[in-house]
Structure 1
Amino acid sequence: MQNRRQFLSSAYAVAISLPSLVNAQSFNEPAIAAVRRNVSAFRTQPWQDHFEDLTHGAILCDIDSRAVQYWSEDESVYKLYPSSVPASEELTRRGYTKVVRKVEGPSWRPTPSMKERNPEWPDYWPPGPDNPLGTHALYLSWQYYRVHGTGDTRKIGRQSSNGCIGLYNEHIAELFDLAEVGTQVRIF
């Protein structure tokens, strides 16, 4: 019985230390490069590098580190969320915009270009747990672009969207409560 306990203890110790061992290896190894493509390498940014002020708060969507940062107008709240980002550079729009509408329980209609790429998609998807926009959506001043939730948690930390920025549903719900119409947004 003692040998079995020792074996299980050793196996457990190795299993919980495996992520540390992997991270300690050189990033030149192919296995690490494969893992790094799917994991957000959170890079915090000072808001001053991206916005003149924090009037109405600010949301910064970092395509490279696959993270969304939020600052409240009075700087009392700062949040950092992992995100999904556009699947390709052609689908990525960069620059300054703002939140123009907030919708809890959004419905979804694929854009004309999405329908061209995926003609099997429905023309309309009602609100609900399987809706591609998740539980909440922040509509931006750019047509078709949103910061929204997703029920497909495999997308977070990856290049997987058709142009939008996706968050876990619990994170978009929190950001939805913090952001207001008029919150400035930068996607870079």
Structure 2
Amino acid sequence: MTTINRRRTILGAAAGIAAFSAPTIMHASDRAQEEAGARQNISSFRTLDWRDHFPSLRNGAILADTVSRAVHFWSEDGSIYRLWPSSVPISEELTRRGITEVVRKVVGPTWRPTPSMRERDPTLPAVVEPGPRNPLGTHALYLSWQYYRVHGTHDTRKIGRRSSDGCIGLYNEDIAELFALAKIGTQVRLI
């Protein structure tokens, strides 16, 4: 009987040590991923200066930071600054970086999968009309890059994650606010 109790005590202690060590191990893993630029479902809410990313605020500016998973907006006169958490592309192959601009604004957008999306998943529907099943959410800002958007999402689990096929996603209430602030010609930079 004493041997069994000792074993239970030793096994219990080992389990306790493992339980306390697991978060430390996980934390070290998260830190390594963070240092490599791949973060786990979080946004790094830090304010940025537009001057580090744009030559001017002509037509306003939107900065989509794919590392911190956040979208920044500055109005043309600099009086408005907003910061929202976002989803970003799943992989580097789907991530486009550089400067573009808003060329179209749509409330209740219709979604059509891109040719590469249909190639990866032929079961995707050809079209999804506006509504709760639409991957573009309630609003979309179309960019000068074909197939790229800053848009909402009905699937709130995607925000703060690598979850898109190239677009930048926001909560529907956040894209509605950005939609109202942005205009055709607003500068957009993805970093």
TM-score by length of 1: 0.82
Q: Give the whole-Å Cα distance in 1 for the aligned partners of 2:123 and 2:27.
A: 35
**Which residue in 1 is equivalent to 2:160?**
157
Q: Give the whole-Å Cα distance in 1 for the aligned partners of 2:185 and 2:78.
A: 16
Structure 2: which amino acid aligns with 1:133?
L
User: Which residue, out of 43, 46, 67, partners 1:43?
Assistant: 46
CA RMSD of aligned residues (A): 1.6
Cα shift at 1:135: 0.1
Cα shift at 1:42: 2.3
**Which residue in 1 is equivalent to 2:97?**
94
| SS of 2:152 mapped into structure 1 | strand
Q: Give the whole-Å Cα distance in 2 for the aligned partners of 1:173 and 1:32.
A: 37
1:170 matched to 2:173: yes
**Which residue in 1 is equivalent to 2:81?**
78
| SS of 2:100 mapped into structure 1 | strand
Aligned residue pair count: 162
| Higher gyration radius (CA) | 2
- Identity rate of aligned residues, in percent? 69
Q: Give the whole-Å Cα distance in 1 for the aligned partners of 2:99 and 2:24.
A: 36
TM-score by length of 2: 0.81
**Which residue in 2 is equivalent to 1:67?**
70
Q: Give the whole-Å Cα distance in 2 for the aligned partners of 1:44 and 1:120.
A: 41
Residues 142-173 of structure 1 deviation map (CA, whole Å, 9 limit, x = unaligned): 00000000000000000000000000000000
Q: Give the whole-Å Cα distance in 2 for the aligned partners of 1:120 and 1:66.
A: 29
Q: Give the whole-Å Cα distance in 2 for the aligned partners of 1:33 and 1:137.
A: 35
**Which residue in 2 is equivalent to 1:30?**
26
Q: Give the whole-Å Cα distance in 2 for the aligned partners of 1:32 and 1:121.
A: 38
| SS of 2:122 mapped into structure 1 | coil
Structure 1 residue ranges without an equivalent (≥5): 1-26
Q: Which runs of 4+ in 1 moved over 2 A?
A: 31-36
